[in-house]
């Protein structure tokens, strides 16, 4: 059996065709949202659907598109199907896309600025400064993601009060201690909303400059024990 030898141009074209499969898979905003949710940890289709406000059927269709491009993997446990990112590079790809859009698409800056102009200045704190302040016991670290994301992994020392519960549980926080809130990433606005609500209730609050996925990929310490507060 003879094998047809490909020219350099043909090889390059075939490679670009494969690269384009990635672009096609993430060309839908809902799929990018699912990638961000899966960057927090493995989730079932039902939990993903609820988090993204989609039907289970629609969520499954989007996940199948991501899986066909090798971006996610799945496993079955009983009647449930669980998905996770194929590797950390998928989360890094989303972050690169976000940074690229932030620097090249004026509309991204307008959208974010219009939203954040309604909020107080968040005064983001970096990871190194946060670690130092945690070591000195000078800050309360608040994870405002949903419980299942917190349980899948979180910054050590963080307490979990999801944004939806914050208003009714603000009294649990020490008003004399600065609060640093974090969520899924820079463009996830859960932490922004949390900081705004905390400040309106008289607490000194800031947000972490990044989110948990970047924290984890950077080799920072991660905890999986439950400490919901």
Q: Answer for the pair 115, 206: CB distance below 8 angstroms, yes or no.
A: no
* Known catalytic membership, residue 183: yes
Question: CB neighbours of 15 closer than 8 A, spacing ≥ 6?
Answer: none
Query: Residue 121 in 3-state DSSP?
Result: coil
Pairing of strands 159-160, 178-182: unpaired
Catalytic residue among 34, 183, 189, 195: 183
The DSSP code for 26 is T
Measured CA distances, 98 to 16, 24, 104, 123 (Å): 22, 17, 10, 20
Q: In this structure, what token pair is assigned to residue 105?
A: 């698409």
Side by side, the strands of the sheet bearing 43-44 are 43-44, 80-85, 72-77
Q: Which residues are catalytic?
A: 183
């Amino acid at each position: 059996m003879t094998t047809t030898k490909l020219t350099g141009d043909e090889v390059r074209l075939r490679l670009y065709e494969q690269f384009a499969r990635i672009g096609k898979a993430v060309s839908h905003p809902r799929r990018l949202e699912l990638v961000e949710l899966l960057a927090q940890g493995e989730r079932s289709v039902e939990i993903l659907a609820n988090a993204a406000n989609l039907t289970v059927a629609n969520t499954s269709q989007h996940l199948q598109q991501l899986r066909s491009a090798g971006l996610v993997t799945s496993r079955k446990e009983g009647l449930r199907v669980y998905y996770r990112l194929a590797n950390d590079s998928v989360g890094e790809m989303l972050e690169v896309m976000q940074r690229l859009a932030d620097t090249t698409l004026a509309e991204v800056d307008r959208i974010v600025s219009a939203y954040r102009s309604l909020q107080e200045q968040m005064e983001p704190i970096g990871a190194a400064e946060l670690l130092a302040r945690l070591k000195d016991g000078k800050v309360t670290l608040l994870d405002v993601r949903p419980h299942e994301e917190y349980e899948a992994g979180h910054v050590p020392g963080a307490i979990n009060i999801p944004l939806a519960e914050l208003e009714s549980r603000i009294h649990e926080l020490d008003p004399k201690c600065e609060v640093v809130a974090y969520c899924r990433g820079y463009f996830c606005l859960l932490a922004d909303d949390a900081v705004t609500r905390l400040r309106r209730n008289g607490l000194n609050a800031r947000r972490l400059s990044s989110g948990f996925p970047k924290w984890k990929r950077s080799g920072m310490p991660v905890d999986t024990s439950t400490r919901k507060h």
